[in-house]
Amino acid sequence: MFLTMNAARRLRQPAHTAKFHRHVQDRQNVQIQPQKAAKKQCLIEMIKCKMEGKEMRLEKDKFSVNLDVKHFSPEELKVKVQGDMIEIHGKHEERQDEHGFIAREFSRKYRIPDDVDPLTITSSLSLDGVLTVSAPRKPSDAPERTIPITREEKPAIAGAQRK
């Protein structure tokens, strides 16, 4: 799903969301079901995350965090490990842009998964300003196995029909 910046800003504003809900309710004379509202909120959060360029991934063999830090130079960024946390900090002093003067600062923390050795964590900054912090995951000691499914003769829910 692609949204313009204006549409995304409107989604973030509670007044607009409430106005939208009232409009739908008045126009169609129906209430928005809690499940639909929750799905919409989840979608809004996903859009915000994608727009802000934040993403943490835990894949089978790798842990990674990607952050859009295009407004910062490598000298203005700091990545460190403290205990079981990765801390990413960025700060630049006031400078001029197309709208005037701006100073930026952010700080993010991510918990390091138990199967990641903190000594193997690396970071890199791409040409388009995406900071990637990653580390390999330790292979699991337990071998993969198929678990058989047994069929019970009684229903899990009282009064349920057998299929």
Q: Which residues sit in the known binding site?
A: 92, 94, 99
Only one residue has tokens 């229903």, namely 155
CA 39, CA 147: separation in Å to the nearest integer?
33
CA 117, CA 112: separation in Å to the nearest integer?
8
Joined together, the tokens standing for residue 145 give 């196995």
Exposed/middle/buried for residue 47 (C-beta within 10 Å: 0-12, 13-18, 19+): middle
- Closest C-alpha among 128, 76, 127 to residue 105: 76
Q: Which residues sit in the known binding site for Zn(2+)?
A: 92, 94, 99
Helices (H), ranges, 62-126 = none
Angle between helices 5-12 and 14-28 (to 10 degrees): 90
CA 61, CA 97: separation in Å to the nearest integer?
41
